[in-house]
């Protein structure tokens, strides 16, 4: 039905938009008005007649949804446009507002795509990229204004025409980004087929001022710097921001999609079964039940499951198992992460270094034991040789000296 609404809206704008009364509006436009009226009634019901909160709390919750903001903007623009087109002095303005309003209603169609698993997260990506664009426009606006004012002051020494200054300070530098550079105007060496004057009286009357030829070299340098910063630095900054946003959302696309699908199902679960414009029948029925027949409303708890006894115990057991599985999966992910791998490698490296230091200590102790054993062996050999000879004869070889003692004495020298 929403597609039919957009088709009807487009038909009215393109083929059946009659002049103000008494010549118009046409019958198809009245059908369009009634259709929008049913949409307004549904938005009022959704805002103030659902839930147990106060109307202020309901409106605060309602306005937090981005798509509800689209609905409010679309309805407000439609009211302004349809009211303005009824008068001859504001007919064209009303038509312009309705054309913009059609774009808002068409963008509202993207809300249906949220149910799709692949396209749904892309809407989140687009929304975040729009925020990135606003940050980019801030930097671009500052740089564009700085260049535009300097360029205008260098090219034209005197020009009091505000409209012309505004176009040349903001609009012309913006077109430079897309390669539309008026070389004949910027470069004084080129022939500029425009009638100009240096008479201040004629310039104040609206005549085109002539270009200043004194600092044209500085204009060319500023143009080169402006294009370098804008087309290379700022554009690549925007691309990097888009890439980061896409990667961040795409990594959790399944979670985003599940939340989107849940919110969409909850929203349509609380709506009447009929779609606009036939939804007015449900509204009339609701009005008769609540206002005329005084039937109290029943509190609806969407997707709330009441369990008791064994069913509740089974649910708690299932939740505990799922919790353990989730924690186990998180531990595996944490262990497989780069930081965890580096930590484990660092611990292993510390262990290896500790073992190497212990091995060096063992080698030092083993070497000292070998020296002691060699000294003991030489001493025993000397004793045996001494005892084997006559007690009256003295052993010509002196007793062995410990290697540790030798090394100590040599170090003292």
Using one digit for the tens of pLDDT, what is the confidence trace for 192-235? 677 788 888 888 888 888 877 777 888 889 999 999 999 999 99
Residue 78 CA from chain centroid, whole number: 31
Query: Does 77 score more than 80 pLDDT?
Result: yes
DSSP class of 88: G
Q: Which of 233-242, 297-306, 347-356 has the highest mean pLDDT?
A: 233-242
Q: CA dihedral in degrees (112, 115, 116, 118; nearest 10)? A: 110
Between vectors from CA 252 to CA 247 and to CA 253, what angle results, nearest 5°? 90
Segment 23-41 mean pLDDT: 92
- Which of 58-67, 173-182, 351-360 has the weakest average pLDDT? 58-67
Averaged confidence pLDDT in the chain: 84
Segment 173-201 mean pLDDT: 80
Segment 14-37 mean pLDDT: 91
Residue 214 CA from chain centroid, whole number: 47
Cβ proximity of 95 and 77 under 8 Å: no
Between vectors from CA 299 to CA 294 and to CA 301, what angle results, nearest 5°? 160
Give the chain's radius of gyration (CA, Å). 43
Q: How far apart are CA 395 and CA 379, in angstroms?
A: 13
Q: Give the pLDDT score at 392.
A: 52
Q: Give the pLDDT score at 304.
A: 66
Count the residues in the chain: 413
Q: How confident is the model at residue 22 (pLDDT cuts 50, 70, 90)?
A: confident
Segment 76-94 mean pLDDT: 94
Bigger pLDDT: 99 vs 187: 99
pLDDT digits (tens, 9 = 90+) for 33-48: 999 999 999 888 888 7
- Alpha-helical segments (H) within 49-199: 55-64, 66-84, 91-107, 120-155, 162-166, 172-176, 183-186
Which run of H or of E encompasses 333?
A: helix 310-336
Bigger pLDDT: 245 vs 392: 245
Cβ proximity of 374 and 403 under 8 Å: yes
Bigger pLDDT: 189 vs 346: 346
Q: Give the pLDDT score at 300.
A: 57
Cβ proximity of 299 and 52 under 8 Å: yes
The structure tokens 């090219």 sit at 155
Q: How far apart are CA 340 and CA 337, in angstroms?
A: 5
Ordered by start, the domain boundaries in the chain are: 2-115+272-286, 122-253, 339-406
Cβ proximity of 229 and 174 under 8 Å: no
Percent of the chain with pLDDT over 70: 89
Q: How far apart are CA 20 and CA 236, in angstroms?
A: 50
Q: Give the pLDDT score at 201.
A: 82
Cβ proximity of 73 and 85 under 8 Å: no
Segment 303-324 mean pLDDT: 82
Query: Does 123 score more than 90 pLDDT?
Result: no
pTM of the model: 0.67
Which run of H or of E encompasses 369?
A: helix 338-388
DSSP string computed for 100-128: HHHHHHHHGGGGGGGGSTTTHHHHHHHHH
Query: Does 391 score more than 60 pLDDT?
Result: no
Query: Does 21 score more than 80 pLDDT?
Result: yes
Q: Which of 118-122, 264-268, 334-338 has the highest mean pLDDT?
A: 118-122
């Amino acid at each position: 039905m929403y597609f039919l609404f957009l088709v009807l809206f487009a038909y009215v704008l393109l083929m059946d938009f009659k002049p103000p009364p008494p010549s118009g509006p046409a019958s198809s436009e009245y059908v369009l008005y009634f259709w929008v009226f049913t949409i307004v009634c549904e938005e009022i019901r959704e805002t103030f007649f659902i839930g147990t909160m106060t109307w202020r709390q309901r409106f605060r919750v309602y306005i937090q949804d981005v798509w509800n903001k689209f609905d409010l903007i679309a309805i407000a623009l439609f009211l302004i446009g349809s009211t303005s087109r009824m008068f001859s002095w504001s007919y064209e303005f009303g038509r312009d507002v309705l054309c913009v309003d059609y774009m808002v209603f068409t963008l509202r169609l993207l809300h249906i795509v949220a149910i799709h698993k692949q396209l749904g997260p892309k809407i989140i990506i687009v929304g975040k990229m729009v925020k990135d664009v606003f940050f980019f426009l801030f930097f671009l606006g500052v740089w564009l204004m700085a260049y535009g004012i300097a360029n205008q002051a260098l090219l034209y020494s005197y020009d009091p025409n505000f409209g012309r200054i505004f176009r040349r300070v903001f609009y012309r530098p913006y077109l430079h980004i897309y390669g539309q550079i008026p070389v004949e105007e910027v470069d004084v060496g080129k022939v500029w087929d425009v009638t100009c004057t240096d008479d201040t009286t004629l310039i104040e009357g609206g005549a085109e001022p002539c270009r200043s030829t004194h600092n044209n070299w500085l204009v060319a340098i500023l143009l080169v710097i402006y294009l370098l910063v804008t087309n290379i630095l700022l554009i690549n900054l925007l691309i990097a921001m888009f890439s980061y946003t896409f990667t961040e959302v795409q990594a959790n696309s399944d979670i985003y999609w599940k939340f989107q699908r849940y919110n969409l199902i909850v929203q349509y679960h609380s709506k009447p079964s009929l779609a606009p414009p036939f939804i007015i029948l449900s509204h009339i029925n609701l009005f008769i039940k609540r206002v005329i027949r005084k039937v109290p409303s029943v509190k609806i708890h969407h997707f709330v499951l009441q369990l008791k006894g064994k069913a509740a115990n089974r649910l708690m057991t299932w939740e505990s198992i799922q919790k353990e599985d989730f924690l186990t999966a998180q531990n595996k992910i944490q262990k497989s992460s780069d930081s965890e791998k580096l930590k484990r490698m660092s611990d292993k490296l510390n262990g290896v270094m500790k073992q190497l230091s212990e091995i060096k200590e063992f080698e030092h102790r083993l070497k000292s034991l070998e020296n002691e054993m060699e000294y003991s062996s030489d001493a025993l050999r000397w004793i045996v040789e001494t005892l084997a000879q006559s007690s009256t004869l003295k052993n010509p070889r002196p007793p062995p000296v410990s290697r540790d003692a030798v090394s100590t004495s040599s170090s003292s020298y």
